[in-house]
Structure 1
Amino acid sequence: MSESAKEDQEKRSGSLLGYGRSPINVLILAGLFGAILSGVSFFYTIHQPWLGLSFIESDVKGLMVTNVDPDGPSATIIASGDILQSIRGLRSSWISLDKAFLIEDPDMLSSFAEWRKLLSREQALYQAMRAPIVHIQLYDGRQVRVQPAEMRPLSSLSFSYFALNLVALLALMVGAGIYSVRMDSLPARLLLVSGVGFAIAASSAAVYTSRELAINPDQFHFFTALNHLGIFTYTAGGLGLLWHYPGSLKTWPMVRILAIFVSLAWLNEQGQWLELPVHSYYFPVVILFLLAIGFGVTQWFQSRNKPVDHAALKWVLVSVFFSITATMALYFIPGMLIHRPLLPIIWGFIAALIMYIGFVFGVIRYRLFDIERWWLNIWLWFIAGLAVVTMDAIIGLLLPQVGSYTLPLAILFTGWCYFPIRQWVWRRLFANSHRDIGQFLPALVLSMVKREADDSEKWWGDVLQETFHPMYLSRIPALDEVRLQDYGGQMLVPSIRGLDAFELCYAENGRRLFLPDDVKIVRSLMEIVRRTEEQLHSYTRGMNEERQRIMRDLHDEVGGQLLTLVHQSASEKEASLASSALSSLREVIYSMDEKESVDYEMAFSRWRILARERCESAGLELYWPVKDKLEQGLFTNRQYYNINLAFKESLTNALKHTGTSRISVLMDIRDGYFRLEIQNNLAKPIPDTLQTGKGLHNMRSRIQEIGGKFDYQIKKDSFMVIFLVPPDEPSGGG
């Protein structure tokens, strides 16, 4: 495939549905939709006639006033405890007030005839209360006049109104949040559909359940129909989810069957064609709930041999069945049997919301819908971005209220404090997605210098993490080339050595999708790394070849000349010096060979022989405890050579001290580290002002060169040097 064809394929895979479908953008769109629902609900709720009164059913004919708003139209005219029996407008007849006007939810009415009757009475009452002045007949015989307000204030809205809009937004955002990271999953899409239906149902119910007495009958009918459509959508979406998650029960087009069923049920309500048994609205809902139980039980048995699916399904069923049981017990069954719910409508919606809350905890605990726990990070970014926009709105609302004397101060604060902070936060959250390869080269070069030679796979994963900040990075089987999938939700990247590959999910912690430009950046980085590694390998190979050449020259030329000198020396002393030089040359040559090594036992034996010979020639006592069993291990030639030279230097140092009569050597392996202690006794204390000589400096340099630590201790009657060497030779000196 040509390069241009590859790029075209990547663009199609990343933009089939547009890059705007990143998780954050999906949440933003869902938030806007929820805001529109709440805005519509708020507009039609406050545009209702308002007397400023709260009512309950009275023991006698009429409605009893329980509260009078001190700023409302009825303040000082009607008092708490008064009973309103009837009301009329300027040109209308008297309308009797009874408990039917206090029905919170018309779904409690079991027949179409009752629903039409309520709408007719609402029509009459609404027309009466639209008059400039209404006459109200009280139970005590008084007749008062009140001027209804055309709009009700925000303070008159009940807790139930705000709670309904809140649960609507929560259900919508949970569905959108799960869909935002699993757009290709049918169960996730069905959960989104269910959440949208729930949001429509709850925000619609907030309009007519918050009415004081009267509401425009056309609006009453519209929002009730919208509420029922939302309930049917919510239920059908949940049922479809149970049919397809964690696996499809059958190959039947169940989603379409459910869509047809709820559409017919809703159209039957609106057309009032057929009165259904028991309750014309609740009857189809109960059927859907019973189907949900059947689907759930079937899924349970179908997944019994799949432990992972079984565990996830258990949490889903607990969430769904608890939600269904609570909703049925609190609302639907009492509505069907006694035409009155046990609790207000808000508690029925809260019980239904439990399903969505359960899914959130299911994602955290069981990875429902194969979503990782990092899904919660999306919410953190969304809330942070929302906070910036909210602060903009607050500043915009407050500035017009600032008085003339403090306005210059407010402008200075906004220009010097608020705007810089706001722009900084905005850039951090929503940085421009345009990226250039030059941004990453300094960090790439630095990390290449620091990385371990045998850890290129983990290092490459760290580079990808630092470059793109994906929400999740995991290892996958090997790939040949970089590519996008899931419309840019994931980017698959081969490893440098072709062993594994990496899957990166959602760039910049979920704020954006991966783009074709990201693929180009990865390809450029891989090309740079591979070329650099080739150069490093060439350099290392040349360095090894040169080392081998030097070793051969030393061995053949210098070694041969020293060997001739040993055999042709005129005196034994000269022969001994030549032999010693030849041994040292061999040690230097061996230390340059990185492929060779010396095991611990051989090294300890050589050093013990060396120490015994030195002590015997100087007439000193040697104390060297030998362990019964030595640990197995290897020194590299470089480690052995440096330790050997430092050990010789330490023995020479000990022999220099006047009055030394005993040398103690302790060699051990502790936690994989080689520890060597050489201690000699002193005839007289060493002064505190002792200046470290070249011997100590050489020992320290040699041990640090192989990544070890060197120390010495001066006591009243002894002097000790300590070597501590790690098991593997590092790349650089310490």
Structure 2
Amino acid sequence: MTFSAEDWSAIVRIESVASDGPARMLPQGAAVATIGDMMPEPGDLIEEPDVAESYKALSRFFERQALLSRVIGRELVAITTAEPEASQVLVKPAAHRPITSLPGVFWVQLLTGLATLVIGAWVWSLRRHDAAAWLLAVAGLSIPVAAFPAAIYSSRELALPGALFHVLTAINHFGTLLFGVAMLALFLIYPRRLVSNRALWLLPIVFGGVWILDTLQVVFRGPVEAMHVSIVILMAAIMMSAVVQYFFGRRDPAARAAIRWFALSVVLCAGTFVSVIILPNLFGVRPSISQGYAFVLFGLLFVGVAVGVARHRLFELEGWAFSILSYFGAFVLLLLLDAALIVFMAMDRPGAFAVSLLVVALVYLPFRNWMARRLMPRGELDRETLFGRIVDVALAKDTVQEERWRQILSETFQPLHLSDGIAGGANEPAIEEDGLALAIPRIAGLAPVRLSYAYRGRRLFSPRDRRFAADICAMLAHAIASRDAREKGATDERMRIARDMHDNMGAQLLSALRSETSERKNTLIRETISDLRDIVNNAARGGKTLEEVLADLRIEALERLAAADIALDWRDSNKDGDTMLAPNIAYALRSILREIVSNAIRHSGASRIRLRFSTENGIALLDVSDNGNGLAPGYETNGNGLANLEARVTALNGALVIGDAKPGLIVRARFPLSESKTT
């Protein structure tokens, strides 16, 4: 069963009734005239007694709570309603309140307190010898000390015993002041110590005295002056200490990043709590949200500071921290404009909200974008320029390659200090010293580099910088590998050309010089000229296709056989005519066919040669026969000039069969058209 109050009429109404509860007979929305022998007042339903204007009013509140608690603790309670019609219902209170009836505000405060307690213990376990971690653990303990009592009395149905209520309130005040003292002490020593330990002890002494005086209800006029003013003072002191920390840490990127994180947490969370809860109470205005839900803000503040003290993820503040603060500013501006238009311009709520939204969209957001460009300029090289610079590094001589690589790193990340890295380190860029340094690994012979204090010391190296550095390193490694592969290919091609000229053309020219017949000499010279033409064409064109090689060989064979009065029946049918042949494959194919033609001219005595060439799955099939003399006696032992032919086919991982066709000779060869293929 829950109650609500109408401030303008001072009427207490029944807001809701559980369908299976002891008061289920009471009509929802009815005005309550009496509960037992007491008339309920709107002040009895106050969630947080801190709003009492004086201690006298607070004492009266506790007295009424005690009386109401005794009334509802009776065996039977008579509840009289005045509206919609006068009636009286006897209610038998349950012995215990079901846990399912507890409102959401109870669980929010309970879970917030538990979360901060666990986070505080976790940070303390990470840095047990650090005074900042101890203070954060104390702050983590203070939130459940403040939240758990508030969860009990803020979720009451109507009343609690006055003495218990007083004790719970005192514990809540103690936890609240303890949180503020611990946080202020933390900001005074972290990340840079601003005061001595002796000065820090003044904080618990002063605010501990405030708590004692508030609990005894002396000196101060009321809880607003004792508690709320103290909270505002503590929060203002925290913000001031954050400003001082930032000033002293302006040359220390790590300290500056930590204090930025702290400032972000304080401004968003504590500032919002003070704005929506504390300041309205100071000016006698009811807060717009429940204080129990506002405890979440302290929980978020605590989480932010805890992350800062634990030294995790302080790196990516530049962009999104500005975005969060700027959009928070837009939200505050929207609320202020809306309230000003309603109060001072007497506009209705929809119109005021529409005008406020228009002002924020047309004025504030463009100003925010302009500030972002001014405060967060990007000094990184664009990708196209960077790619060109990296290619220049890859193609540079060894004497200037190192210098150009370091110049790219310097212009990209603008470090204050660039030094030699540690050899044998990681293979990927790594953030070191909590973001103060970025280690660049060894890349293809370039020495490792260590960058310190990013962007002239204005901020820490972030995971985004690490990923960008990894992209640059991968780009450079790929460019150097491509250069090495190109140089290796060029060297291999030069070596192949030199080998072909030495082994083949040199041997052919030497044979031509020693040849006794002009026919043999002319043949060798023609083959040498053809080989030289192939070398020049392949170097200029990058190789020939199978179809082009076969066409050249057919013309060459026709000319040579025609000079020897031998007819040629040439047919080739292949499915791999567009295949680009490797130089060694093309040369071997020419040598095989030339050797067959040469042997036919010199030894066969044939008048006709039949040649068939085909391909199947990348395998060349060559079948040549003639109508000449066939194999000479003793071929198996002396080779009869065909040994070179067999050696060339075997070198291609192929197979050669030479047989006597009676009449004539038959040669069958089978070999792959690429080095990756096998027969």
State the TM-score, normalized to the length of structure 1: 0.48
| Contact persistence 1:110–1:281 (CA under 8 A) | no
Task: Write the deviation string for residues 303-335 of structure 1: whole angstroms up to 9, x where unpaired.
Answer: 222334323322320211222221111111111
Change in CA separation of 1:194 and 1:608 when aligned onto 2, cut-off 3 Å: farther
Which amino acid counterpart does residue 220 of structure 2 have in structure 1?
E
Q: Could you tell me which residue of structure 2 aligns to residue 97 of structure 1?
A: 40
The answer (yes or no) to whether the contact 1:110–1:280 under 8 Å persists in 2 is no
Distance in 2, Cα, partners of 1:273 & 1:333: 23
Q: 2:17 aligns with which of 55, 63, 68?
A: 68
1:651-694 per-position Cα deviation (integer Å, ceiling 9, x unaligned): 677533356799xxxxxxxxxxxxxxxxxxx9641564768998
Residues 153-168 of structure 1: pairs in structure 2 closer than 5 A: 153-168=98-113
Match of 1:84, SS state, is strand
1:112–1:280 CA contact under 8 A, matched in 2 = no
Question: What is aligned with 1:250?
Answer: 195
Aligned counterpart in structure 1 of residue 506 of structure 2, from 605, 613, 638: 613
Query: What is the SS of the residue equivalent to 2:106?
Result: helix
Give the AA of the match of 2:131.
L
Name the CA distance, whole Å, in 2 between partners of 1:458 and 1:615: 57
1:656 is aligned to 2:586: no
Cα offset, 1:246, TM superposition:
2.3
What is the distance in 2 between the residues matched to 1:602 and 1:200? 84
Question: Against the structure 1 CA distance between its residues 719 and 151, is the aligned structure 2 distance closer, same or farther, given a 3 Å change threshold?
Answer: closer
Structure 2 CA distance, aligned partners of 1:696 and 1:151? 100
In the TM superposition, residue 102 of structure 1 has moved relative to its aligned partner by: 0.5
C-alpha separation in 2, matches of 1:196 and 1:368: 29
Name 1:332's counterpart in structure 2.
278
Cα gap change, 1:190/1:361 in structure 2, threshold over 3 Å: closer, same or farther?
Answer: closer
Contact 1:660 1:683 in 2 (8 A): no
Separation (CA, whole Å) in 2 of partners of 1:201 and 1:237: 14
CA displacement at 1:284 relative to structure 2: 1.8
Separation of aligned partners in 1, 2:134 and 2:112: 20
The one of 64, 76, 94 aligned to 1:133: 76
Distance 2:653 2:164 in 1: 90
Inter-partner Cα distance in structure 1 for 2:252 and 2:430: 26
Aligned Cα root-mean-square deviation (Å): 4.4
Number of matched pairs: 403
Q: Give 1:732's aligned residue.
A: none
- Write out per-residue CA displacement over residues 403-443 of structure 1, whole angstroms, 9 at most, x where no aligned residue: xxxxxxxxxxxxxxxxxxxxxxxxxxxxxxxxxxxxxxxxx
Q: Within 5 A, what are the aligned runs for 1:389-468?
A: none
Residue correspondence of structure 1 range 289-688 to structure 2 within 5 A: 289-338=235-284, 340-359=286-305, 365-367=313-315, 605-616=498-509, 617=511, 620=527, 621-622=530-531, 623-625=534-536, 655-658=591-594, 684-686=612-614, 688=616
Give the distance between the partners of 1:687 and 1:68, measured in 2 at CA.
92
Shift of 1:66: 1.9
Runs of 5+ unmatched residues, structure 2? 318-421, 434-447, 449-490, 512-523, 541-581, 599-609, 623-645, 655-668
- Highest RCO, 1 vs 2 (Cα 8 Å, sep ≥ 6): 1
Secondary structure class of the residue paired with 1:136 = strand
Deviations 1:618-668 (A, max 9, x none): 55221223869xxxxxxxxxxxxxxxxx99999677533356799xxxxxx
> Residue 187 and residue 612 in structure 1: after superposition, are their counterparts in 2 closer, same or farther (change >3 A)?
farther
Q: What letter corresponds to residue 73 of structure 2 in structure 1?
A: R
Alpha-carbon separation, structure 1, partners of 2:203 and 2:597: 99
Residue 27 of structure 1: aligned partner: none
Q: Distance in 1 between matches of 2:316 and 2:126?
A: 12
Q: Which of these residues, 163, 170, 174, is aligned with residue 115 of structure 2?
A: 170
Partner of 1:194: 139
Q: CA deviation at 1:355?
A: 1.6
**In the alignment, which of 110, 114, 120 is matched to residue 63 of structure 2?**
120
Amino acid at match of 2:237: L
CA–CA distance in structure 2, aligned partners of residues 697 and 191 of structure 1: 80
How much does 1:82 deviate? 2.1
Asked which structure has the greater CA Rg, the reply is 2
Give the corresponding residue for 1:111.
54
Question: How many angstroms apart in 2 are the aligned matches of 1:130 and 1:365?
Answer: 53
The question of whether the paired residues in 2 share the 8 Å contact of 1:54 and 1:68 is answered with: no
- Answering whether residue 5 of structure 2 is matched by residue 56 of structure 1, we say yes
Unaligned runs of 5+ in 1: 1-51, 89-93, 370-454, 463-471, 477-499, 501-597, 629-645, 663-681, 702-715, 725-734
Cα–Cα, structure 1 residues 224 and 367, in superposed 2: closer, same or farther, change >3 Å?
Answer: farther
Aligned-pair distance for 1:264? 2.1
Letter in 2 for 1:353: G
Change (3 A) 1:275 1:612: same
**Structure-2 separation of matches of 1:687 and 1:291:** 88
TM-score (norm 2): 0.51
2:126 corresponds to 1:181: yes
Instruction: Quote the offset at 1:79 in angstroms.
Output: 0.9
Give the % identical residues.
22
SS in structure 2 at match of 1:104: coil
